[in-house]
Structures are given as structure tokens and as C-alpha cells.
Amino acid sequence: MINTSTSDENLCGLKRADFQTTVNGKQTDLFILKNENGAEIAVTNYGGAVLAIMVPDKNGKYANVIQGHDSITHVINSHEPFLSTLIGRYGNRIAGGKFILEGKEYSLTINNGPNSLHGGPTGFHTRIWDAEQETPQSLKLHYLSADGEEGFPGNLDIHVTYTLSNQNEFIITYHATTDKTTLVNLTHHGFFSLSGIANPTATVDNNIVTINADFYTPIDNVSIPTGEIAKVEGTPMDFRTPQRVDSRINDPFEQLEFGAGYDHCYVLNKREAGTLSFAAKCVEPESGRSMEHRVSGILLLPVIEPDIRTEELLWNAEESGIPVVLIDRDFQEGDFDIVLIDNKKVVYDGVELLIESGHRDIGIITCPEVVKKGRTRLEGYIQCLKDHGLEIRDEYIYPGDFDEKSGYQACEAFQGLDNPPTAVLATCSSCTLGCIRFMNEHNLLPGKDLGLVGFDDISLLNSIGYELTVMDRPMQEMGEIAFGLLTDRMKGPDTKKRRREVMLRTRLIIRGSEKRQGVQEVVL
């Protein structure tokens, strides 16, 4: 544990000794974040609970604007267990405490009527997080949620960073990795009082709220969404123009009764799908304090290109000063950081493995030609065949898409040829699944009846009952590096750097499916 809070001199008046104890063999403590303007945030690593946020009002008077506690005992024994804490694995309710994932039903602890709420009674809000405060303005929290904890599958490794910027922004960044397919919906459950905490604390009735949404999601009497997307127009749910919280909260409206007020999800308006736009704002008129939702940074995963909506998103972000990091997607224009793999080499290596296994007739399922990484993967296939003196046959090149259907149809087309390929290489994980489905339906075994090399070592491929050889991208490493680049950009304009590009190596995981009976391995 690293803590820069070496004294009890702080605006909120909290004492470090009051938050130091040992719970389940792990130490708790008080951490104080301070920016250059004098604002402060007080945090404990028990549940990542925020204890105080000290910011000025319109007259420069500081006050705490979040509900918290004055000792670790009160945090642990809080009447509201989720008061201003981290929430996980899953924020909000799961109906009946059950869900089905990849054909398997999981049961969770019931802690909210008939439902499971906020990760269960021993969710992230009760866990002691590893804490490192290396700078006065930032606190890093880490927790490893074990496979089966509160009924959720997979080991989930979570990193959360609290940052207090010099613009008085409270920035929370989340980064999580898992070794199994699971449910994850991480959030923070802050109880804000913009007027300032007092005794008694003022209500939020006078808060003026704006929500940029034409629709919301109605709930049933136990707060589970009904599946309907309803218009806000003509209802007390309409905050498209600024409205006091108390102006309609007592109206005879069923949804207000079910939610005991406003406890609903809104469907935010977008000018265009994928663009950034205003979400919501809350103003406390007496103090002049306000909160507004904004995006601090964007990690963009691969999408089909050219994609006008994605390009608009990128330009919108750049114009707004929002940093963007691209993962496995090359966008040459703009000042965006990029984390890539060598798409040409990974396919080259996969084809070469099939050649070394004795195959000469090798089919490939490509990505769409409009996608740069699809073109470079095809280039790797062609180059490898040329380097080994093998014929490039158009009928062995199937123009696929990023879906299972392409893999199925490609195998169907290959098997219909007079001279079908003895091996198939799929250039995306979904296509790989399609190949497997075709082979299952036609009683073909990978590594016996047909050589098969797939893409990405994902858990779903590992669960199909075959030992599948794959071209594997270092997804976790890509995510970690991208996250690091993004958080660096988010520190502020003074950290602005030229475009950074990181190229990562891939690997072949060889499990035998690249072989075929009757085809002999050769030494090249």
C-alpha cells in the first residue's frame, strides 16, 4: 500500500486513524486527493468508498458534495451498503438472480426483493482493494474477483483509478480482464448533494435536471425493465428541458410509484449513431454547483471500415479535445494513438504451419476487402504461397465477413469444389466458429478429415470439444497498453504528444487441428 496522505490536514476534517483497521487480513486506510485549485476527494480502500468531495460554490465556499462516512466502522456498518462505493460485478438488478450464459444457467445471491442487486451482498462494495497513491491527484485501486465469487464465472482482474483533475473533474477509469466469458457492468454509486452536506442535509427537490432523451425504459413493480422503450413526452419522465426534481415527482404516475421516484434508465438522443453528444446535467441553484456527464476518453475497438459514423465519432472527439486510442485499427489521419498487431505476419505464419504439415491446397476465409487488416491478412496468405512456390487459386479464397455465417458458407463452398482444399485458415474468430459448425453438421473432424487453423484463442473456441490450432492476438496486452496510452492522454493538454503507434507480436498456438489424415508433414 502506498499513501501520500501523511497528515490529517484536509478540508473535510477526516482523520486517517479513524479509517485504519484490518479486515480479513487486509488493511484499510484513508486517502486524500488534492488538485492545484485546493479541491479534495477523500477515499477509503474499503469498497473504494468516496467519503467526501470538497469543491467550492459560486462564492468560493468549500463544502462536501457527496454522502459518505466519518469512520471505517460506519462504512462497514452503513445502513446503505452501496453508499458512494464501487459496484460490481454487475451494477443494477438481475431478475430472479439468474442468467444464462453460453447455454449454462448461473444463480446469484438474492439481495433486493426477488432480484440480485449490484453484485450481491458481498460484491465489490465490501472488498478491501489494494491501493497505491503515487501522486496527490490520483489513486489506483486493484481487486481480483475469484471465479465463482457471488455466483459469477471467471476470474476478473479489475483496476480502477480515481483522478482529481485541475479542472475539478472527478475522473473514474475502469480496466478489467477475465479468463472466462462473464457478465461485467462496473460503475460507481455516488450519492451527491450539490448543496453541500449539512445537518440536516438539504433535499434535492430544488435541483434542476436536464436529460437529453426522448425515451426511457419502464420498469415493473420490482424495478426490472419490462422491455418496452417508452416516450417521455407527456409524462413526468420528460427532462428534455430543465426541470426541478420536485416539479412532478409526486404526480399520480405508475412508473414513479414503481421506482419510488426517478430510478430509471434513459435512452439518450444521438445526432448520429456513434457520435458524442450531451447526456445530462444537474444544477443546484442556491450554491451554483452543477454536474454534467462527459466522456473523458475513448478506446475504439475494431470496426468495419470505411465507416462514416466511426469517422464522425473520431473527428467529433478530436474537436472536443477527447483523447482516443485505437485498438487493432489503423486510422492514418488524426493524432490518435494506435495499438496494432502485424496482421500480415500472423497469417503468413499460419499458412506456413499448414505447408509444414504437408498441405498444398489451402483455403482461406478473408475479412471484408474494405477493411485494411483484412487486406493485409490476405497479403500474408498470398506471400507465403509465393515464397513456397505454391499456386494461388482464386477458388480457395473466400471473401468472408466478421460473422459465423461466412465460415459456414466458405466450408460449404470449398467442399463443393472438384478439388477441395485439404486445410482451411479462418482469419477471424466468428468465421472459425462457422467452420466448426459446418464440420459438426457434416461429421468432419478438424485434424483428421480437414486441417483447420482458427483465429484468436477465445474461451468459446476452447469449449467446443476440440483442441484447435489458432493464430492468437495478445488481447490482454493490447488492452493494457491501450489503457495506459489513454490514461496518459487524459492527464491533460500538457501531456499531449505526437501520435504513438505500438506494434505487438502474435503467436501460433499449435494443438493438432492443422493436420489431416493422409497428409504428411514435411521439413522445409
CATH number at residue 484: 3.40.50.2300
Arithmetic mean of pLDDT, 354-372: 86
Q: What single-letter amino acid sits at 439?
A: M
Q: What single-letter amino acid sits at 295?
A: V
Given 268, 294, 320, which residue is the final one in a domain? 294
Question: Residue 155 sits in which domain range?
Answer: 16-188
Same domain, 507 and 371: yes
CATH number of the domain that residue 88 is part of = 2.70.98.10
Report in angstroms the alpha-carbon separations of 453 from 129, 457, 468: 41, 11, 7
Among 327-336, 372-381, 408-417, 428-437, name the one with the lowest average pLDDT: 327-336
pLDDT at residue 304 is higher than 90: no
Same domain, 52 and 150: yes
Same domain, 236 and 87: no
Is 396 in contact with 418 (CB distance < 8 Å)? no
**With 0-12 CB in 10 A as exposed, 13-18 as middle and 19+ as buried, what is 208?**
middle
Q: Considering all CA atoms of the chain, what is the largest pairwise distance in Å, rounded to the nearest integer?
A: 84
Grid cell in block for residue 67? 454522502
> What is the domain count for the chain?
3
The answer to the question of residue 146 being in a domain is: yes
d(CA 172, CA 190): 12
Arithmetic mean of pLDDT, 350-365: 95
pLDDT value at residue 429:
84
d(CA 195, CA 24): 37
Residues 6+ apart with CB under 8 A from 307: none
pLDDT value at residue 310:
65
What 3-state DSSP class applies to 387?
helix
d(CA 164, CA 66): 14
Given 230, 259, 294, which residue is the final one in a domain? 294
pLDDT digits (tens, 9 = 90+) for 144-194: 999 999 999 999 999 999 999 888 889 898 889 888 889 999 999 999 999
Task: Place 21 in a pLDDT band, splitting at 50, 70 and 90.
Answer: very high
pLDDT value at residue 250:
95
Task: Place 403 in a pLDDT band, splitting at 50, 70 and 90.
Answer: confident
pLDDT value at residue 211:
95
The answer to the question of residue 246 being in a domain is: yes
Report in angstroms the alpha-carbon separations of 195 from 39, 190, 192, 205, 342: 16, 15, 9, 11, 54
d(CA 251, CA 519): 76
Arithmetic mean of pLDDT, 25-45: 95
Same domain, 268 and 384: no
The answer to the question of residue 519 being in a domain is: yes
C-alpha count within 13 angstroms, C-beta hemisphere, residue 258: 15
pLDDT digits (tens, 9 = 90+) for 113-134: 999 999 999 999 999 999 999 8
Task: Place 63 in a pLDDT band, splitting at 50, 70 and 90.
Answer: very high
What 3-state DSSP class applies to 28?
strand
What 3-state DSSP class applies to 86?
strand
Is 364 in contact with 425 (CB distance < 8 Å)? yes
Grid cell in block for residue 169? 473533474
Given 160, 188, 216, which residue is the final one in a domain? 188
* pTM for the structure as a whole: 0.65
Report in angstroms the alpha-carbon separations of 219 from 93, 224, 255, 264: 11, 5, 7, 7
Same domain, 36 and 91: yes
Same domain, 131 and 227: no
The answer to the question of residue 11 being in a domain is: no
Query: Which of 213-217, 426-430, 478-482, 484-488 reaches the highest mean pLDDT?
Result: 213-217
Same domain, 425 and 496: yes
Among 289-303, 392-406, 431-445, name the one with the lowest average pLDDT: 289-303
pLDDT value at residue 325:
87
The answer to the question of residue 9 being in a domain is: no
The answer to the question of residue 180 being in a domain is: yes
pLDDT value at residue 133:
93
pLDDT at residue 5 is higher than 70: no
pLDDT at residue 460 is higher than 80: no
Query: Which of 307-321, 328-342, 465-479 reaches the highest mean pLDDT?
Result: 465-479
Is 311 in contact with 319 (CB distance < 8 Å)? no
Arithmetic mean of pLDDT, 267-294: 80
What 3-state DSSP class applies to 178?
strand
Same domain, 159 and 270: no
In 10 A of CB 381, how many CB atoms?
A: 23
The answer to the question of residue 1 being in a domain is: no
Same domain, 269 and 334: no
Same domain, 310 and 290: no
Same domain, 286 and 138: no
DSSP result, 92-115? SEEGGGEEEETTEEEE----BTTB
In 10 A of CB 165, how many CB atoms?
A: 18
The answer to the question of residue 164 being in a domain is: yes
Same domain, 107 and 219: no
